Amino acid sequence: MDHPIVGLFAYQEALLIEAAFGLALLVMIWVGFRRWLQHKERLGHLIAEQTAERAARHGAQMERVEARLATIEQRISDAGAGATAQIEGDGTALPSEPVERRDKA
């Protein structure tokens, strides 16, 4: 028996099932997208922390280098020509061999 009302209910039932599955699929996609965004935010925070830490280490290293350079400049300006021998004998401020020979090695 092929009654038109039965066909209409069957069509509506199929639409309802498709809508429920479609809605469930959209919810799963939305939840996955939100989790991905949270992951990206955490990753961004971690990268920012690492970058700040590296910048702080680099800044501290640059301060030490600048302090050593200021000491060398002070020694050179105070002692004049005799300071070159003192700096080279000290071995902490400048390398004992010329830069050209170190680069070739």
- The tens-digit pLDDT sequence of the chain (105 residues) is 566 666 767 788 889 999 999 999 999 999 999 999 999 999 999 999 999 999 999 999 999 999 999 999 888 887 765 656 666 665 554 454 554 544 454
At 26, give phi and psi (nearest 5°). Answer: -65, -40
* Helix/strand/coil (H/E/C) assignment for every residue in 39-56: HHHHHHHHHHHHHHHHHH
Alpha helices per DSSP H over 1-105: 4-79, 82-90, 99-104
pTM more than 0.85: no
